[in-house]
Amino acid sequence: MKLHKTRLRAGIAVLAGLVLAGLLLLVGLLLWRASQSAQAVREPALLTRTESYVVPHIDHSSDTALITRGAYLARAGDCIACHTASGGTPFAGGLRMHTPFGVIVSSNITPDKTYGIGAWSDAEFLRAVKHGVAPHGKWLYPAMPYNLYARVTDSDVLAIRAYLNTVPPVHAANASNQLTFPFNIRPLMLGWNLLFFNPAPFQPDPQHSVEWNRGAYLVDGLGHCSACHSGKNLLGGDTDYLQGYDLEGWHAPEITGNPYTGLGSWSTQDIVDYLQTGTNRYSGASGSMGEVVSDSTQYLDAADLKAIAVYLQSIPGSGKTAPAPIPAEDPELTLGHQIFLANCAACHQSDGTGVEHMIPAFAGNPGIRAEGANNVIRTILLGGRTAATQLNPTSAEMPAFDWKLSDAQVAAVSNVIRNSWGNAAQRVTAQQVATLRAELKAQPQISADR
Ligand code: HEC
Ligand code: HEC
Ligand code: HEC
């Protein structure tokens, strides 16, 4: 299982936050510890709490049903993506997440009794997944999204455990993290949790339909969509809910109902298609979203995907509106248009409409006009590939243009596709392209006169 760099974002932001959180910790630790132990005492109650929100459509009658349901939910939570090293056994951990402060290694969550979760009680499993504390008081780093899994019901987490119990145990120790001091001090996470961790369970909103609530439950819990799509403050806490975020050379676009930068202009079915097949009539999922689609959302049933779409479209979002477009007679756009016709129109069509379910359109594609232009620039430099899924096994590929186009040419053609066919967006500069070219270690242009 390949881990994309962007998954490391959580770890990086969180570790940066540790320094400040640590200071806070010095002041508040003793006082807070008292209230924590009170919480630990309350913990077993989680097991007996009547679930306020029960998954509607799954049979609980036998173990097989429980395991099937657990397998489904493990996919919804995409546990496999982080808990599998590249080329490694599923769920055996060992994926190395590089951060400026060292390496965080994901854990073995197979049912091995020594090195995995085999000997854990259900209460210990719940506490690790939903509260970020593994047995023996091991405070987890939020590179494991327990702050979002806290919304998942106990019965769903225990179904995932029932499924994990059926995968082959791997008798191999977790490699230890290699973090520099003071980031290697796990109890510092007390400080982070105090600032950002809200252990409240999911609360259904009676003002909304069962479908909407199911969507909210999946997006905010197992789906951990906000890990990439929400802004982050300096300490790695979430801000600007699902309104878009730049991560490691990508932009995870706004996915609220905002009609311009969000999903408001797509139909509910367009969103379902995107999450289920990896493409729709406007766009295709690549990069870290391609991995989310191929590891996780393609396996969700149509009712759950529709619930997610209905919920996302109901969020008002950022309120961002279109800026004034760069006028077509702008000299940069004139140049960019020639580059577009010579290099891009054969696939994307001269009117920017692409080929449905294969080659993305630029018209009607909110990701193209997003404030963050990273996806546009990086796809032109490096090319890309959309997710391969059961329903769309031959994913489409775009060639790289780093060797062919200069920074100024990439900027010019980006400005064309972001400011034509009804699009309008901030100007991309050659400097922005140069910075991303260096960051992505893309090739320099080979010859200026091609
Ligand atoms: C975005 C990446 C990511 C995803 C998704 C993820 N995990 Fe984790 N998980 C981690 C990392 C990294 C650690 C180790 C953290 C540490 O060392 O503090 C971890 C630790 C754990 C632990 C503690 C293991 C131990 O021995 O301490 C459990 C249990 C766990 N994850 C279960 C799950 C389950 C179940 C899912 C799916 C519902 C899941 N994880 C999804 C990254 C992830
Ligand atoms: C690991 C980071 C990550 C996670 C987790 C993630 N996304 Fe994404 N998402 C992205 C990136 C990056 C893109 C842009 C991909 C592209 O342009 O090909 C994207 C694009 C999208 C788009 C297309 C938006 C557009 O305007 O083109 C939708 C819809 C979407 N994500 C929904 C979701 C949902 C729903 C979830 C949770 C179930 C989710 N994402 C979880 C990173 C992520
Ligand atoms: C051989 C066909 C082909 C050519 C030529 C081509 N593209 Fe693409 N393009 C694709 C395919 C297929 C994808 C989907 C893959 C992906 O998003 O990673 C794509 C994706 C993109 C995306 C991302 C769309 C999204 O929804 O996130 C951008 C931006 C883009 N192309 C711009 C260009 C520009 C600019 C040129 C000319 C310099 C160009 N393409 C030339 C086939 C092509």
Q: For position 365, which CATH number holds?
A: 1.10.760.10
For residue 379, report the distance from its CA to the centre of ligand 3, in Å: 7
**Any domain includes 446:** no
**Residue 206 within any structural domain of the chain:** no
Separation of CA 344 and ligand 3 centre (Å): 7
Q: Which atom of ligand 3 is nearest to the CA of 290?
A: 18
Q: Given this model, what pLDDT does residue 19 score?
A: 53
Question: What does the pLDDT look like over 225-276, one tens digit per residue?
Answer: 999 999 987 766 788 999 999 887 889 999 999 999 999 999 999 999 999 9
Give the angle 274-285-352 at the CA atoms, nearest 5°: 90
Query: Whole domain around residue 69: which residue ranges?
Result: 5-199
Separation of CA 112 and ligand 3 centre (Å): 45
Q: What is the pLDDT of residues 293-328, one digit of tens each?
A: 999 999 999 999 999 999 999 999 999 999 999 999
Which two structure tokens, joined as six digits, stand for 199?
């252990």
Which of 289, 314, 339 terminates a domain? The answer is: 314
Give a yes or no: residue 416 inside a domain.
yes
Query: 156 and 14, same structural domain?
Result: yes
Is residue 230 located within the same domain as residue 118? no
Q: Are residues 164 and 239 in the same domain?
A: no
Ligand 1 centre from 354 Cα, in Å?
A: 39
Residue 383 pLDDT: 97
Residue 169 CA, ligand 1 centroid: distance in Å: 16
Domain assignment present for residue 411? The answer is yes
Mean pLDDT of 195-201: 90
For residues 133 and 247, membership in a common domain is answered with: no
- The pTM of the whole model exceeds 0.75: yes
Q: Which of 15, 72, 80, 83 to probe ligand 1 with, by most ligand atoms within 8 A of CB?
A: 83
Tokens of 26: 């010095």
310/335 same-domain check: no
Per-residue confidence (pLDDT) for residue 54, from 0 to 100:
32
| The pLDDT of residue 9 | 54
Q: Write out residues with Cβ below 6 Å of ligand 3.
A: 283-284, 286, 343-344, 346-348, 359-360, 365, 367, 375-376, 379-380, 384-386, 396-399, 401, 413, 417
Alpha-carbon gap, residue 336 to 331, rounded angstroms: 9
As a whole number of Å, the CA-based R_g of the chain is 23
Q: Which residues pair with 245 in a beta bridge?
A: 252
Q: Do 337 and 301 share a domain, yes or no? A: no
> Residue 326 domain-assigned?
no
- Distance from Cα 108 to the centre of ligand 1, integer Å: 9
Instruction: Give the model confidence (pLDDT) of 132-165 as tens digits.
Output: 999 999 999 988 999 999 999 999 999 999 999 9
Helix (H) or strand (E) holding 192: helix 189-196
Average pLDDT over every residue of 379-383: 97
Which of 314, 342, 362 is the C-terminal boundary of a domain? 314
Residue 23 has pLDDT above 70, yes or no: no
Confidence of residue 180 (pLDDT cuts 50, 70, 90): confident
Residues 231 and 181 both lie in one domain: no
Helix (H, G, I), strand (E, B), or coil: what is residue 381? helix
- Ligand 3 centre distance from Cα of residue 398 (Å): 5
Instruction: Say if 324 falls within a structural domain.
Output: no
Q: Report the pLDDT value the prediction gives residue 196, as an integer from 0 to 100.
A: 86
Question: Considering its fold, how many domains does the chain have in total?
Answer: 3
- What is the DSSP secondary-structure string of 20-61? HHHHHHHHHHHHHHHHHHHHHHHTTHHHHSPPSS--TT---S
At residue 188 the predicted structure's pLDDT band, cuts being 50, 70 and 90, is: confident
Contact of 291 with 2, CB cutoff 8 Å: yes
Q: What angle do CA 324, 239, 20 make, to 5 degrees?
A: 130
Q: Do 234 and 346 fall within a single domain?
A: no
Q: Would you say residue 410 has pLDDT above 50?
A: yes
- Is 306 a domain residue? yes
| Together in a domain, 235 and 187 | no
287 lines ligand 2 (CB under 6 A): yes
- pLDDT-based confidence at 18, cuts 50/70/90? low
Tokens representing 49 are 């709490």
Q: How are beta strands 384-385 and 250-252 bridged, if at all?
A: unpaired
For residue 138 and ligand 1, the question of a CB distance below 6 A is answered with yes
Asked if 162 and 238 sit in the same domain, the reply is: no
- 3-state DSSP assignment of residue 150: coil
Q: Which of 18-27, 172-181, 345-354 has the lowest mean pLDDT?
A: 18-27
Average pLDDT over all residues of the chain: 86
Identify the residue with better confidence: 404 or 59: 404
Q: Is the pLDDT of residue 80 over 70?
A: yes
Ligand nearest to the backbone CA of 251? 2
Q: Residues 316-366: pLDDT tens digits?
A: 999 999 999 999 999 999 999 999 999 999 999 999 999 988 999 999 899
State the ligand closest to the CA atom of 361: 3
DSSP three-state, residue 236: coil
Please work out whether the CB of residue 306 comes within 6 Å of at least one atom of ligand 2.
Answer: no
3-state secondary structure 248-310: CCEEECCCCCCCCCCCCCCCHHHHHHHHHHCECCCCECCHHHHHHHHHCHHHCCHHHHHHHHH
Q: What is the mean pLDDT of residues 216-222?
A: 98
In a domain, 325, yes or no: no
Q: Work out the average pLDDT over 425-441.
A: 96
Q: What percent of the chain has pLDDT over 90?
A: 72
Per-residue pLDDT, 191: 86
Domain end point (choices 261, 279, 314)? 314
Of the candidates 234, 91, 213, the one whose C-alpha atom is nearest the C-alpha of residue 151 is 213
Dihedral sign computed on CA atoms, order 410, 411, 414, 420: negative
Instruction: Report the candidate in 164, 162, 133 with the shortest Cα–Cα distance to residue 146.
Output: 133
* Total H helices, total E strands in the chain: 18, 11
Give me the pLDDT at residue 42, please: 26
Give the closest residue (by CA) to ligand 3 atom 18: 384
Does the CB atom of residue 271 touch ligand 2 within 6 A? Answer: yes
What is the number of the ligand 1 atom nearest to the C-alpha of 222?
Answer: 38
pLDDT at 43: 27
190, 150: one domain: yes
Are 271 and 416 part of one and the same domain?
no
Ligand 3 centroid, distance to 384 Cα (angstroms): 7
- Return the half-sphere exposure (C-beta side, CA atoms, 13 A cut-off) of residue 112: 18
